[in-house]
Structure 1
Amino acid sequence: MKKHIYPIIAGIILLTSACKKDWLDAKSDSSTIVPQTLEDMKLLLNNSVLNTNYTALGEASSDDIFVSNSVFSSLPLLDRNIYSWQPEIFVGTTQVLQWNNCYNQIFISNVVLEGLEKLKLNASRKAEWNNTRGQALFHRAKAFYDLHIVFSRPYSLQTAATDPGISIRLNSDINTKTVRSSVQEGYDQIKTDLKEAVNLLYPLPKIGSDPSKASALALLARLSLSMGEFDDALTYSGQSLSLFNTLIDYNSINPAAANSFTAFNQETSYYAIQALLTVLVNANISPELINTYSSNDLRKSVFFKLNTNGTYSFKGSYTGSILPFAGFSSNELYLIQAECYARKGNTVDAMKSLNTLLVKRFKTGTFIPLTASSAEAALSIILKERRKELVYRGMRWQDLRRLNLEPKFATDLSRVINGQTYVLPANDPRYVFPIPNYIIDATGIAQNPR
């Protein structure tokens, strides 16, 4: 049996070769696909696979949403399992899009990285070669990261060296035996890829779906925050903001619009979308979250639609559609910066970063800058605003996972569905999704305990 993990590779070949018939050269080893020119590799990186179908599993499991009993009963089995935190999620499922797509992204990135090493280019194209390599490294790092946030335990310095992570594939050979690296090894690889990418990428993207130095630094900031490396997260968020720091004044947004934002808006440094789950399309926003917005906070009308039954649904995706956003934008960087200042005891700069963001979110002339009596108080305020700002981005799930490791922020989740109460305690094994059974069967790697 081939111990491989790359899924539906033939689909990738068909997608890319549809753009150009003869750009691939099948070598004697048919598992390896090598582009021939720099243009071919750039074309491969233009594949929409690299910007779509990022994991939405965490978003559908978070406490930001709820569905009615009747909607729950009408959902596909997969969505019901995710929403109610079942031990078995992918029952009878032979293709898990959000696993497959990440490994498709990794495969494409590895093909490009291998191909680039074989090219001989003159000095005049060195910057172009560098940027192409940087993009491939970014895409691989983001796919690795997205797999970790659902299929491995949250990063803990005490246990990361022994916690099982994902398979870190650094070549395109589908016959390479699949093994699970540790969480530490996985995060170290993500960091290595991104640090190299930062030195190769153009400062800003030519088009919004291209990785750039600004978005690689943003991912480094997000990664460092998830690892509790607050000094690094502060540095990377500041460096990213030094390249791209535009904020949208929500007073300019029409609250009556069906979709409040356009795709590739001026706050987005990297455009990507999550996979669309039925439960997210039909979900309402938690009343607990809705009630945290004050009357002058424009996010309530910009992010949410008031339904006829008094519930609220989400309409504020930075994708400009019903698809949840999975990219990077400057608002997240201001929140990372603010949190890290607070964790370092710098209350003044923490609130300054937060208020720089919030003044753009309130009705003109109504915003009173927030203050905090201590760094601890500032941190509490910032974490609440982080939840209110980063809705439907998968960030709530990531925050629950990392903050549950701090007893003062640990949160037990519960839902009542058709009269039955479902509970997800802080740090429960179900914060790690099971690896799809067909991957376990094909590779023999260990399953996550649930």
Structure 2
Amino acid sequence: MKTLNRYIFSFLTATTVLGFQGCDKALELDALGGIEKEAVFASEENVKSLLNSVYTVIGSQKWNSGRNQQFNDLLGDEFFGAQLGSTKGEVYNRNTSVFNDDTKAFHKEPYFAIQRSNQVLDNIGIVSAAFKDNAEGQAKFARALGHFDLVKLFAQPYNTNSDNSHPGIVLQLTVSTESAVARSTVKQVYDQVILDLKDAEAKLPSQNGNYPTKWAAKALLARVYFQMNKFTEAYNYANDVLVNGLSVRNQNYAQIGFTELDYADRFSVAGSKESIFEIVNEKGLSGRSDSYRALYKSEGNNPEMKLMNSFYTANTSDVTDKRGIAWYVKGISADFKLLKKFDVQNFTTTLIHFTEMKLIRAESAAETGQNLTVGLADLNDIKSRAYGTSAVLLPANASAALLRDQVRVQREKEMIGEGDRAQQIKRIGAKGEASFSRGVVWNCNGMILQFPGSEFNLNPLFVKNPEGGCN
């Protein structure tokens, strides 16, 4: 997502309070320019500046330039974290504490974007009619993305219990200075995320330059509904995107030549042909994807994110699988292997893509027992891209159960390093299936992160997550 240089600014200092709950809740923005708070809401141009700054936060190293992906991947079963230091090691060992500075920094970052979005919405009246819907749609898309990414890591998943009344996160929906605010339930958080995304879907245009479109909102809705195990809704939204939607580059799915796409396309300098929402690595912004690359890159043979030997073997043993050559490196250690999916310097960070939509549509078809022909075609397209003429395709009479199982295998292969695996382990467990990550059950205490102490030290209404890890 490109943030134009002329729009980069800060309208607050680190000590200005804009409504975070509890101690240490000031909106701590980097000082990038000289527009005073009062001036921000005096013109449409300055509101646009504020809205643009949201994408700087979304693409920051504390959120989607690696940290969100890393924390999710460390909770999963594909990566080897035994050599990590204390803070990242806590995540890998599923026992984060209230003193963990890395999880604290991650927890703050989406709220920065949420609060900036709330400021835009609170001042939407000064925006011209020509841009008003677009501005509101972008703000609600960003607010939904922030709440969704937070609730997945800091709360047990949707369907953990029948009414989803278990604690979620604090919903930040207004510009407020109230300090004592309780956590909303998981149901309340998901309901709000869906409401925001449906508003964004209605208000955003089909084409929007480098900014979110209605197709990005629909694709994120497909992801949200899939995480909720609401397969009819997930299928419908993924299907809409694949049949009618446009990529960031204004091409529909039929135009991108999916089965012939090179695997280097997903994280490339120019940006992926299948990207629906992305963070552009704009020249002059000191490399937005640098942090992501540094965490996962195979260069140097010792990144923080190392692959399990078992996962490497499972994904490289078939020499006809093009992903094995494109994404994996044996390295020099007997303890772990390496991922080169993110080795390209200054790549554009793809956050939502057509492959994920095909995976969602195919598994949702299998789960509902409806549209199996479409689901089978999606799986076979993914396999044809990976294995070429050697692909073993499923026949038209394949069962829904076989389709589901094979889609899950392909999902794990396709989404490696994109922060997806732990959430699938949780989703499958919440659906009622046996589901484990490195030998521990999907909903043990340590499979979610602990909140930083600043959340509840001065907030009597805030209840922290249970202690005890997964022992």
Q: TM-score, normalised by structure 2?
A: 0.79
Separation of aligned partners in 1, 2:183 and 2:264: 48
Aligned counterpart, 2:3: none
* Moved >6 Å (runs of 4+): none
Aligned counterpart, 1:366: 390
| Count of residues in correspondence between the two structures | 412
Change (3 A) 1:309 1:434: closer
RMSD: 3.0
Give matches, 1:188-203, under 5 Å.
188-203=191-206
SS at match of 1:333: helix
Q: Does 1:24 align with 2:27?
A: no
Q: Contact between 2:259 and 2:382, CA under 8 Å: does it hold in 1?
A: no
Q: What amino acid is aligned across from residue 94 of structure 2 in structure 1?
A: W
Listed as ranges, the gaps of 5+ residues in structure 1 are: 27-33, 415-422
Q: What amino acid is aligned across from residue 430 of structure 1 in structure 2?
A: G
Aligned counterpart, 2:250: none
Change (3 A) 1:337 1:254: closer
Give matches, 1:211-222, under 5 Å.
211-222=212-223
Q: Contact between 1:155 and 1:183, CA under 8 Å: does it hold in 2?
A: yes
* Shift of residue 334, structure 1, vs aligned partner: 0.5
Change (3 A) 1:10 1:228: closer
Q: Does 1:156 align with 2:169?
A: no
Match for 1:80 among 66, 72, 89? 89
Q: Contact between 2:167 and 2:183, CA under 8 Å: does it hold in 1?
A: yes
SS at match of 2:435: coil
Separation of aligned partners in 2, 1:182 and 1:174: 21
Give matches, 1:244-283, under 5 Å.
244=246, 245=253, 246=256, 248=258, 252=262, 261-262=268-269, 264-272=271-279, 276=292, 281-283=303-305
Aligned counterpart, 2:413: 388
Aligned counterpart, 2:143: 140
Q: Does 1:230 align with 2:231?
A: yes
Q: Does 1:12 align with 2:29?
A: yes
* Shift of residue 253, structure 1, vs aligned partner: 5.2
Listed as ranges, the gaps of 5+ residues in structure 2 are: 1-16, 247-252, 280-287, 297-302
* Shift of residue 14, structure 1, vs aligned partner: 2.4
Separation of aligned partners in 2, 1:278 and 1:77: 18
Aligned counterpart, 1:336: 360
Percentage identity across aligned positions? 22
SS at match of 1:328: strand
Aligned counterpart, 1:284: 306
Separation of aligned partners in 2, 1:396 and 1:83: 14
Q: Does 1:37 align with 2:65?
A: no
Q: Contact between 1:94 and 1:438, CA under 8 Å: does it hold in 2?
A: no
* Shift of residue 387, structure 1, vs aligned partner: 0.8
Q: What amino acid is aligned across from residue 76 of structure 1 in structure 2?
A: G
* Shift of residue 288, structure 1, vs aligned partner: 3.0
Aligned counterpart, 2:454: 438
Q: Contact between 1:79 and 1:278, CA under 8 Å: does it hold in 2?
A: no
Q: Contact between 1:96 and 1:436, CA under 8 Å: does it hold in 2?
A: yes
Separation of aligned partners in 2, 1:225 and 1:374: 21
Separation of aligned partners in 2, 1:433 and 1:391: 21
